[in-house]
A and B are shown apart, each in its own frame.
Chain A
Amino acid sequence: MTAPKIKIGFAGTPELAFYHYQELAQDKEFDIQYILTQPVSKSGRGMLKSNYSLQDQSLSVKTFTPSNLKQKKFVDEVMKYEIDLLVVVAYGQILPKWILDYPKFGCLNVHFSLLPLYRGASPIQRCIEKGDYESGVSFMKLNEQMDAGPLYFQSKATIKDLDFYEVEKKLINLSLENLNSVIKKIVFESLKPKEQNHALASTANKITKEEGEVNWKNNYQDIHRKFKAFKNWPQTFFIFQNQKIKIHDMLIDPNKRGHAGTIAHVNKDSIGVFCNNGCILITDLQFPGKKIISAKDFFNSKRDIISVGDSLN
Chain B
Amino acid sequence: MTWFKRSKENIASETQKKDVPDGLWTKCEQCGEIIHKMELEKNFFTCVKCNAHFRIGSKEYIAILLDTDSFKENDGRMRSGDPLKFVDTKRYRDRIPEAIKKTKLHDAVRWGTGTVNKLPLVVAAMDFSFIGGSMGSVVGEKIGRAIDRAWKSKTPLLVISASGGARMMEGALSLMQMAKTSAKLARLSEAGVGFISLLTDPTTGGVTASYAMLGDVIIAEPGALIGFAGPRVIKQTIGKDLPPGFQRAEFLLDHGFVDMVVHRKDLRQTIAQLLTYIGG
A binds B: no
Which residues of B does A touch, CB under 8 Å?
A: none
Which residues of A does B touch, CB under 8 Å?
A: none
